[in-house]
Amino acid sequence: MRHTFGLILGVILTPALAYGAGWGYTRAGASYDAINQTITDRTRLYGAFALMAAVGLVMGIVILARWASPFVSLVPALAFIGWTACFLIAPKTALGIPDRLPPAGEIDTALRVLLGYGVLGLMGFALLVPTWAPGRWRRRHEDDEEESGSRSRGRSRAYDPY
């Protein structure tokens, strides 16, 4: 049940992370003038940075949460890495994918830029790392039994990060 919920949450998080990063990038880029080196709209810039910070926070929670199923991070990781690999093999095809997704406009451009700069690949590999931890695949009560067994032998799991 935990992995089913994790799979569903991973499917929901994938577009949320992509569109959140893309929209934040678009709003941040529209709120300053690079030539004059001035901020034209501080409110928009702060909102964009807050959105990108929220995307980073959600990614951090997904990466570090021991209670979460590995599918929560695996699904977006494979989607972002797959899209980046598609970009490296067939750039025109990969850059056309945002045209076929619902919200059109400046978010499409932002997704293309994030893809071209490698940001989506970076996000994908960061989300892939927690799936290698064997403790994320075990059931919760197995961890509790191991923990109680190691304490009875005088050892603690404080040294074990997973």
pLDDT at 121: 94
Better-scored residue on pLDDT, 24 or 99: 24
Cα 152 to Cα 156: distance, rounded to the nearest angstrom: 9
Chain centre to alpha carbon of residue 82? 14
Residue 2's pLDDT is what? 78
Q: What is the mean pLDDT of the chain?
A: 83
pLDDT, residue 24, reads: 92
Measuring CA to CA, which residue among 81, 78, 83, 77 is closest to residue 95?
83
Q: What percent of the chain has pLDDT over 70?
A: 85
Q: Given this model, what pLDDT does residue 116 score? A: 92
Q: Is the pLDDT of residue 142 over 70?
A: no
Q: Which residues of 83-111 are buried (b: 16+ CB within 10 A; e: fewer)?
A: bbeebeeeeeebbeebeeeeeeeebbebb
Question: What does the alpha-carbon distance between residue 29 and residue 39 come to, in Å, rounded to a whole number?
Answer: 10
Range 146-160 average pLDDT: 52
Q: What pLDDT score does 148 carry? A: 53
Tens digits of per-residue pLDDT, 50-62? 999 999 999 999 8
Q: Give pLDDT tens digits for 12-44.
A: 999 999 999 999 999 988 888 888 888 888 899
pLDDT average, residue stretch 135-150: 59
